[in-house]
Every structure is written in structure tokens, then in C-alpha cells.
Amino acid sequence: MAKALRTSVHIAVVWGFLAVMMFGPAVGAAGWETLGGDITRRGQSNHRGPVSACVKWRFELAAATPFSIATDGEQRTYIACEDGVLYALDPNGALLWTYDASSPFSGSPTAAADGSVYIGNADGRLHIVGPNGTGAGAYSTGGVVSSSPAVARTGNVYFGSHDGNLYAISPDGDELWTFATKGPGVLPNGAITASPAIGADGTVYVGGLYDPNLYALDPNDGSVKWVCCFEYLTKPWDPTSVEGGWPFASPVVGPDGTIYQTLLHDPNLYAIDPNNGDIRWKINLANPAGGWFDYGYADDYPGADGWSEPVVGPDGTIYVSFDDPYLRAVNPDGTIHWVTRLGRLGGFTLTVDAAGMIYAAGDDGYLYVVDSAGWQVARFKSDNWLNYPVVAADGTAIVSEGRDGSVLIADQNNYVWAFSMQDCQGLDHPLRSIADIDGSGEVDFADLARLLADWFLCTDKTVYPGMSGPVCSYTGSLL
């Protein structure tokens, strides 16, 4: 009996190892291959990013890029624009090639290990682009493809469509299987706006808009392993309607396999057991259990929504942004760690580096760098809103700049910025410590002299009413 038990345990361990090798994420992978860094979507880089940095390069685009950037193991950068053009840049920001899809892109690109790039567009197709920028095929769906594809170790590709289906295709674009999400009542199928995540054993996690469920699917045939059902409200006069409980953002797989999910019209962060789909805990982040953090919050931001994915730090802390100016840190046990306010507008797309530094790119045009204790340590100001910061393999921080289509000015440009700590001698540091007032790259007596010389402005409300001026953004704790 003992021998049989040891044999079964050995087989289980070997199968678990093979499953991770076949399906799971490439631990220590050099590139930021897809939305969230890798197929776990946890937004964690294996590399340390810069705090004080100069501009390594800046690339001008012909159109806005509201999507995440992808990088590969050769430090090439892939940028998709709303006009349907995909750019490939070398490590120095020089153009390698472009690919024109002849239809607007609608999702973030994914860089596969073989050099291919997968990206969806508004006409319902997933484009496969070869390593040299030539079209290598396309797969058609019945709706817009805003999902960033997940490429498993097998090379199989998983992505969602607004037609409510999750698709599994081979590297050559052949269909393997599909799975249809189903909304309650007479609502349409759960249009999949989010990107699927893949766990260490290959399980595919996906949710759909109008469908208050998270599904765990077998990667081989799309069969359902379990369903996690979220609470939702219905209109009193229409029991077939649903308000809230929608997985708009992608599920995120933590280091221990726990799945983290935010929802539209729901201020909670959910932690889900990967074994059975049970909700381990949830925390209301509009009014954290650790205490109220801003008495004006309820009036200013009554309906916090989870538009962007949470990220998970090296120590397991989960960082969350809703559509407000606050960044929340949640402990792995579901208790609040800290909450800090960044700027005046929200929300933010997040990345965390190997040292636990959080990079938050916001609608207010700032890239904020926040340490694991919640202190803002550096920032960069752009004229436009920023999105999806990436920490690349060489420690370069890359962030895209764009304009909302409703306020787009045709003669103003869109840029991708790359910041680096290398070769910055004598250069201005636009990404710098908020105590580095003169932008020299160091916090020194020159900064203190500047602060003291201008300090009277902070107390003169006729000059800077409400402490809103640039000088008044410095605090004594920084020096």
C-alpha cells in the first residue's frame, strides 16, 4: 500500500512538472510578451526598473496607442496603434518594420517565442505577423478582438472575441476548439473584452462582459473545470437584466495559483481558489476594512470600477487601481496594506518591478513610481495621458503616450518613451525623484536651496491657492 501511494505521488508530481513545462508561463522569461507581462497577467517584471532616469529614446507614432506594449527576448518593442499599424523597434528605438492590418487594432499585441506577433483588430480577426513584419495569416471571429492573446508553452494561442467566444488555435492558425460564455436572461453572450490568463498547470481562465462568471477551462478541449459565480444586481422591472459583476479586466494568476479579479460596477477585489473556483476572500476597496482613507472619497468617486488589471508584487502584495486617483495595496490574506493618492485624476495602469517598485501610468499624464511602503518616490510628466508601463529586460522603463479619441488634436503627436539609468551623465532626468527638484539626477543641496528659496510660494495662497502649484508638491519628508 505504501509503495503504491509513493508511486501515485511520484506520477502526480511528474505530471504536474510536465504540465507546467507544456502549458505554464516561462519563469524568468526576458520579454514583456503580452498584456500583464506574461500569460499569468500578474504585471510583474523580473527586472529592476529605473527611479531616476534620462530618456533613452522617444519614438513618434502616427496615431494613438491605448494598448500595452510588448517586448521579446531580443529587447525588440512592438507597438500597436488605433490606425491598424504595428511597429517593431530595435533596443535603441529605431524602426525595424511596420505591418498594416488595413483595419484599426483593438487589443494589445503578444510576442511569441518563435518571433511571431499575434494581435486582434476591429474587423474581428486575429492577425499573425511573422518575425520580419510579413503577414503570416489571420483567424476570423464574429466580433471585435480586444483580447491580448495568451500563447502557451505548446505554442497554442488562446484569445477572446466580442462575439462571446474564447478561441483556441494552433500556431498556424487552425482552430482547436471554442468556448461560448453565456450571460443570464436575454442578455447577449458575454462579449469577451478581457484577455485570458493561464495557470501553471495550463488551465485557461476567462470571463465575459454581461456574464457574471469566471470560467476555468481545460486547455486541451475547452471543457469546464469549474465556474466562479459573482453576485450581480438586476433592475426591479426587468429580472433578466444584470448590472455589475462583469469581468471587464483580465483575471490575474498569483504566484501560488490564486486568481485575482476585479469587476465593473463592483468595488471589490476577489481572490479565487484555483482548485474549485470558491471565493477565498473579497475586500471592498471603496471603503477598505483597514479604515477610511479619504472622507471626501464617497462624494467624489461613488462608483469605483475595475477597468484595469491588478498586479502582484514579489512579496505577494496585490496592487489595485480603480477609476479614481487612489492606489491600493492588499495583503495576500485579503486585508488592506495601504492606500495612497496619486494626483487628481484616475485611474492607472500598473506594473511592478523585481524590487517591488510600482509604476503607475495615469490619465493625468504622469508616470508615478511608488515604493512597496506606499511612498511616491519619482514621477514623469507628459502632456498627454499615459498607459501600460513596461519594465524591459535591461531595466528600461517604456511607457506609451496617447490622446483620447474624443479630444484628439490631429496636428499633435503621440509618443512612446523609454527611460534608462544608463549613459545619463550630464543629461536631464525627466523621470526623477520628486525631491530632485532641479532634474540633475541627484538629491543634493541644490535641491534644498531651490526648495527653501521658493518655499514662501507654498504659503501664499494668492499664488498657489489650495497648494496646487508645482513647488508645493514637494514635502519635507522627501529631503
d(C-alpha 309, C-alpha 361), whole Å: 13
- CATH no. for residue 172? 2.130.10.10
Q: Which residue has the higher pLDDT, 185 or 331?
A: 331
Residue 277 sits in the same domain as residue 157: yes
Interval 102-121 mean pLDDT: 96
Higher pLDDT, 431 or 421: 421
The answer to whether residue 217 scores a pLDDT higher than 70 is: yes
432 and 476 inside one domain: no
Do 160 and 54 lie in a common domain? yes
**Cβ atoms 162, 144 nearer than 8 A:** yes
CA distance 310 to 306: 9
- Phi first, then psi: give them for residue 452, nearest 5 degrees: -65, -40
Residue 58 confidence (pLDDT) above 90 = no
- Looking at the structure of the chain, the number of domains it has is 2
Instruction: Please report which confidence band the pLDDT of residue 239 belongs to, taking 50, 70 and 90 as the band edges.
Output: low
Are residues 413 and 379 part of one domain?
Answer: yes
Q: What is the pLDDT of residues 218-228, one digit of tens each?
A: 999 999 999 99
Residue 24 shares a structural domain with residue 153: yes
| CA dist., res. 242 & res. 257, Å (int) | 29
Shared-domain flag, residues 182 and 291: yes
Q: How many CA atoms lie within 13 A of 179 on its CB side?
A: 25
Does residue 309 register a pLDDT over 80? Answer: yes
Within this chain, do residues 328 and 471 fall inside the same structural domain, yes or no?
A: no
* Per-residue pLDDT at 431: 67
pLDDT at 152: 97
- Higher pLDDT: 236 or 206? It is 206
**Which residue from 123, 89, 129 is spatially nearest to 418, judged by alpha carbons?**
89
Confidence of residue 33 (pLDDT cuts 50, 70, 90): very high
Average pLDDT over residues 1-14: 35
Mean pLDDT along residues 395-413: 47
Cβ of 444: how many Cβ atoms within 10 Å? 14
Portion of the chain with pLDDT greater than 90, in percent: 47
Pick the more confident residue, 346 or 258: 258
**Same domain, residue pair 452 and 430:** no
Do 162 and 147 touch, CB atoms closer than 8 A? no
The verdict on 171 and 104 lying in the same domain is yes
Instruction: Note whether 439 and 450 are same-domain residues.
Output: no
- Which range is least confidently modeled, 331-340, 357-366, 436-445? 436-445
Spell out the SS3 assignment of the chain: CHHHHHHHHHHHHHHHHHHHHHHCCCCCCCCCCCCCCCCCCCCECCCCCCCCEEEEEEEEECCCCCCCCEECCCCCEEEECCCCEEEEECCCCCEEEEEECCCCECCCCEECCCCCEEEEECCCEEEEECCCCCEEEEEECCCCCCCCCEECCCCCEEEECCCCEEEEECCCCCEEEEEECCCCCCCCCCCCCCCCEECCCCCEEEEECCEEEEEEECCCCCCEEEEEECCCEEECCEEEEEECCECCCCCEECCCCCEEEEEECEEEEEEECCCCCCEEEEEECCCCCCCCCCCCHHHHCCCCCCCCCCEECCCCCEEEECCCCEEEEECCCCCEEEEEECCCCCCEEEEECCCCCEEEEECCCEEEEECCCCCEEEEEECCCEEEEEEECCCCCEEEEEECCHHHCCCCCCEEEEEEECCCCCCCCCCEEECCCCCCCCCCCHHHHHHHHHHHHHHHCCCCCHHHCCCHHHCCHHHC
pTM of the model: 0.82
> Above 70 in pLDDT, residue 176?
yes
**185 CB-contact burial (10 Å; exposed 0-12 / middle 13-18 / buried 19+):** exposed
Query: Average of pLDDT values for 338-351?
Result: 84
In terms of domains, do 124 and 262 share one?
A: yes
- pLDDT, tens digit, for every residue of 125-159? 999 999 999 999 999 999 999 999 999 999 999 99
| Same structural domain, 300 and 449 | no
Work out the pLDDT band at 310, boundaries 50, 70, 90: very high
Q: pLDDT value at position 7?
A: 35
| pLDDT at residue 64 greater than cutoff 80 | yes
Residue-number span of the structural domain to which 354 is assigned: 2-443
Tens digit of each residue's pLDDT (9 = 90 or more) over 348-392: 899 999 999 999 988 788 889 999 999 988 888 877 778 888 888
At residue 429 the predicted structure's pLDDT band, cuts being 50, 70 and 90, is low
Which has the higher per-residue pLDDT, 330 or 456? Answer: 330
Least reliable range by pLDDT among 14-23, 25-34, 138-147, 324-333: 14-23
Which is more confidently placed, 396 or 446? 396
